[in-house]
Structures are given as structure tokens and as C-alpha cells.
Amino acid sequence: MRELLQQAAGDPAPAKWRDAVSAFRQARRTVLRLRDERQRVADALWDGARLAEAVDAAGRGVSAAEQRLAARRRADTLAAEELADATAVFDLRRAAREGHQARRPGLFSGLFTLGGSHRDWQAEDRRLAAEERDARQEHERRAALAAGCRAVVRQAEAELVEARDELRRRRERQERATRLVRDAERRWGRHLPAVRAEEQQSTDERELSSPWSDPEFTRARTRLFLAAMDLHRAFLTGAADRMRKNLDAAMDVLCGEAPATLPAATTLAAWQSFFLAVPVVSTTFASLDRMFSGLGPASLGWMLVDEAGQATAQMPVGAIWRARRAVVVGDPLQLEPVVTLPHTGQQALRRSFGVGEEWVPSGTSAQRVADRLTRYGTWLPSPDDGGRDGRVWVGSPLRVHRRCEEPMFGISNDIAYDGLMVHGVHRAEDYPVARRGVWWDVGGAGGDGKWSPEEGAAANVIVHRLIDQGLDPVRGLFVVSPFRDVVAGLHRALCRTVPRARIGTVHTTQGKEADVVLLVLGAGGDKAGARAWAAARPNLLNVAVSRARRRLFVVGDHGSWSRNRHFDTLARRLPRMTVDDQRAMRDLTPPTLPDPCRCRP
């Protein structure tokens, strides 16, 4: 890096910087465009039920509006008929009075009748006038009612038009969403989540679908990442002289050569410069405090805690304190924290500081704490309760297992995960080494402590046969045991064939994997206590089995171990072989069996 920056110092190359910025912005625009496109599809998917209900509701609204209009029209028809009747009556009453007015008595008629005819006429006129007035009032009332009914009909007609328009708009929205989803299904296939009831995926299909990670979007995101790296490189070379000095300061900080009085802002700037060149830095909890000394809270962008199931709850506190965001990854059903302080000492400290039982280091991992704070997850049977009613909460479980073939996957899934895991291994090629794994039963083997020389000899036979079939023990094999003294015996028995680094306890292989794992159990015969310790929880066997990608071989006392919890599942899943079994000899033994070596480890 120093040489690169020295070479670049004489050629700032602003054009390279502009090109890198332009390429990054273009890549980012592409990703944002594709993201927004998928977000619209996601909205259409999630809104599918709501849109369908909206269409149904609008349809019901149209039906209700039609019913209201029909009722209003019936009322309008009745009002019109009643108005016509009232009009006819009014016309009759008015015509009757007008006729009566035309027959008003003359002067002489009044004289001859001494005014009687006038009095009679006036009385009749008053009666007819009252009838005309009543008819007019009834006519006016009926006319007002008819006008009101006509207005109500017009309003109901407008409401029906609006209801039909709303139904049309909602159907158009639903159709647009449906077309959008159908097009996405055609383009993205299984990467599109199925949310409609008629299209629900099976559990395996859903877990294996990689939602929203279709090739087009994945390629665009990859190009954006590469463009970001090019942008970093262009920045480093464009400001080569200053960055070289900053990186020199960062190396002083890393190596502990920076002055103790170095300001915190300078330390942060040195780390920021370093992260421009090296985006990801790996360290251990033991060295983190010294490594990031001087950095305050939220000074780091991301903190990724791996194998958090092996870390005590207290270990990542300083790391998380220094980070703005934290991702805690681990498996509470694999190996647990190893704490050198005796349990009695842990309890004494807990009581002294007045904290709860859940904070005892050996009983609570960082992963368990993170799981407790995770909203999304699932319940699994607790490994502490012997398969009874206890449960453990696992946050955001990654259910697809992509390492082990059968039977390793099935064993782990049965003993630790209550069958919730999904098998994601689909290798096209056949494995050329050994047709299948077996449990080589070395029953009744005796020895010093948990180590059995007979098991060592059986392990030696298996290893030689695997090597003859093409297995590379340096890269393709782990030989593991639950017990340290068995590992010591294996170092002696296999010293000529298996590198020392490939033989160890189950705890040393956490996070590692190999094509073939040879699990040598030891602790046969009368070592019931040791077997009970190994079988108390599924964690140890789960780790041992899940280290093997292609084949698993077990050497041990089948009769003794298969009576223990979890190991009974192992016994059911692996075929049992003995030294006298010709199938085992045909599958595993080399033409000439070497003597187990007796060299020192």
C-alpha cells in the first residue's frame, strides 16, 4: 500500500477520481431504481388483500347506491302520482269556484229575494273558496314533496355514478397491481414471495427462495459494491500523500506506538483512514479493548459478532458500545461459552453485585441476550429440560442449512432444531471418497481413562482407507473427540497420516468444516459419567456432526453410547459396522492394514 501511494503521489489523476465518482453514482442510481421497482411490487403484493377488499367494498357500495336509487325512484313515482291527484283536485275546486263566480246573482235578483240569493251565493262561495284553498295548499305540499323526491333521485343518481367511478378506479388499481405482480413473477420467479393464499409456498420453497435477490438486482448491488471499492481506491490514490501519512498514523495506533496523549479525534481519524483502505477488520474480544483504545461510543459503523453462542454476554459490551449498529450471529444450540472461573465463583460475584441468574457468564451467551431483544424469531425446545415443556427463543433464525449432506443434516435437525431446518445442499457431483458413513462399533474396548487403543486402531484403518480413496487429510478431514485424553491418544495413533492441526476436541472445530469428519467417542464400557456429560445437551454432538460436509464416521462403543440421549438418534441414522463385518471391510479397509504408529505427538 505504501508503494502504491508513493507511486500515485506524483500523478493525482483527477480524471480517475471523476470517473470513479461518476461510475459510483450511476451504479447507485441503478440500484435505487431497481430497489424502488421492487418496492412497488412489494407494496402491490402486501396490498393485494387490501385492494381486493376495497374492490369488494366498492362493489357493495354500488349495490347499495343502486338500491337507494331504486327506492328514491319509487318514492318519486308515488309523489308524482300524488301530485297529479292533488293537481286534479285543485283544478276541480278552482273550476267549481270559477263557475260559481260566474253565477253571481244580479241586482234585481237580490231585490226580488230581499237579498236572500246573495246570502246563499256568498255562503256557497265561502265554502268553495275554502275547498279551493285547501286543494291549493295540498297541491303546493304535494308539489314540494315531488320536487324534493326529484332532488333526492338526482342525488342518488349522482351517488351511483360516483360509486361506479370508485369501483372502476379501484378495479383499475387492482388490475395494475395484478399486472405488476404477474410481470414480476415472470421476471423474478421464485425470488418473489408468495403472499396470496392460493399461491402459498411450502416451507422449503419459501426458505430457499432468497426473496428479492433475483439475479438482476444482485448483479446491480455487486456492481455498486465494486464501484464503491473503486471510489475508495480513487480517493486513496487521488490524495496519496495525505493518505500515506494518515495510514502511517493508523499503523502507529494499531501497533501501539502512538503517543498516549494522542487526542481521541486524531485516533478516530486514523481509523477512518484505515477503513477507507481496509473496509473490514477482524479481531478477538481479548484484543479489542487495546486495539480500539481511544475510540468512544458509536465511533464505528458496524460491529459484526460471529460465533456469538460461544461468547459470554459480557464479552461484546465494549465492541457494541463503540458501534452504531451491531449484528450478532451465532447458534445457541452449538457450543456454549467456556468460562475458566468456577461456577461457585461466578455465583459469588453475581450475588455480590446483585444481578440476576441470567447474567451468570457460563449460563448466558451473547447470542442468547441478542435473541431476547430480537422481535422476530421462533421457539425451539430448550436443551436444558430433557425434551419436556421448556422452550428457548431463537431470534431471526436462518433455517436453511447449506453445508452438510445427509445423514448429518438430519441428525442435527432432529437433536437440536426440532425439525425446523431446511436442507439447502444440492450438489450435482458424487463424492468419490467412501460410499457412506458408518458407526464402527468397537464394543467392550478397554483402555486407560477414556482412551481406547482399539478405537485408535479402528480410526487408523478408516483414515488409511479414506486416503487410499483420494481423501486429502490436510484439507478434507477432521478427527475429533469430546475428550482431551482421547485426542491425545489419536495424536499418537494417527501421527503418520493426519496433521496434528486436523485432530482436536469438538470445541476446537467450532466454526470449521471438512468433507469428512471422524468422530472418535472414547469413554466406552464403564465410563457412564463421561457419556452422560457429553449427552446432557445436544450442543456438543450437533457441532461434531455438522462439521462434516460429505461423510461422517463414528468410532465407539455402540451399545453404551446409543443408550444416551441424542446419541440414540446418531445410532439410528448411521449404519452400525464391526471389524468382522465384510461390508465395512470392503468399503473402508485398505489392501494392507498398517500398524498404528507409536510415535510421540
pLDDT digits (tens, 9 = 90+) for 360-369: 998 889 999 9
Q: How confident is the model over 212-237, as a mean pLDDT?
A: 94
CA 350 to chain centroid:
35
The region that residue 294 occupies, defined by phi over 0 for left and psi between -120 and 50 for alpha, beta otherwise, is: left
Please give the pLDDT value at position 594: 39
pLDDT exceeds 80 at position 8: no
pLDDT at 199 over 70: no
Pick 405 or 194 by higher pLDDT: 405
Which amino acid is located at 197 in the chain? Answer: A
pLDDT for 440 beyond 90: yes
Confidence of residue 582 (pLDDT cuts 50, 70, 90): very low
Q: What integer is the mean pLDDT of 513-542?
A: 94
pTM of the entire structure? 0.76
Question: Does 415 have pLDDT greater than 60?
Answer: yes
Q: How confident is the model at residue 4 (pLDDT cuts 50, 70, 90)?
A: confident
Mean pLDDT for 327-333 is 91
CA distances from residue 190 to 207, 219, 279 in whole angstroms, order as listed: 11, 17, 33
When computed from its CA atoms, the radius of gyration of the chain, rounded to whole angstroms, is 44
Neighbouring residues of 184: CB distance < 8 A, sequence distance ≥ 6: 38, 41, 192
Q: State the Cα–Cα distance between residues 234 and 226, nearest whole angstrom.
A: 12
Residue 324 is predicted with a pLDDT of: 96
Q: Say if residue 443's pLDDT is above 90.
A: no
- At residue 596, the pLDDT reads 40
pLDDT of 14 reads: 67
Cα–Cα nearest to 467, from 443, 496, 504, 433: 433
% the chain with pLDDT above 70:
89
Encode 554-568: b = buried (16+ Cβ within 10 Å), e = exposed.
Answer: bbbbbebbbebbbbe
pLDDT recorded at residue 158 = 96
Is pLDDT above 70 for 262? yes
Cis peptide before 407 (omega within 30 of 0): yes
Q: What is the pLDDT of residue 124?
A: 83
Question: What are the structural domains, with CATH classification, of the chain?
Answer: 16-207 (1.10.287.620), 237-401 (no CATH), 407-588 (3.40.50.300)
- Check whether 110 has a pLDDT greater than 80: no
Q: How far apart are CA 80 and CA 85, in angstroms?
A: 9
pLDDT at 75 over 70: yes
* Residue 570 scores a pLDDT above 90: yes
Strand partners, 555: 440, 520
Kindly report, residue by residue over 12-35, the tens digit of the pLDDT.
Answer: 566 688 999 999 999 999 999 999
Q: Give residue 446's pLDDT.
A: 62
Which pLDDT band holds residue 208 (cuts at 50, 70, 90)?
confident
Average pLDDT, the chain: 88
Q: What is the mean pLDDT of residues 172-194?
A: 90
Instruction: Give me the mean pLDDT over the 462-488 stretch.
Output: 95
- Structure confidence at residue 109 as a pLDDT band (50, 70, 90): low
The whole-angstrom separation of Cα 492 and Cα 38 is: 59
Confidence category of residue 193, pLDDT binned at 50, 70, 90: confident
- Cβ contact 563:528 at 8 Å: no
197 pLDDT higher than 50: no
Q: What is the pLDDT of residue 445?
A: 60
pLDDT above 90: percentage of residues in the chain: 62
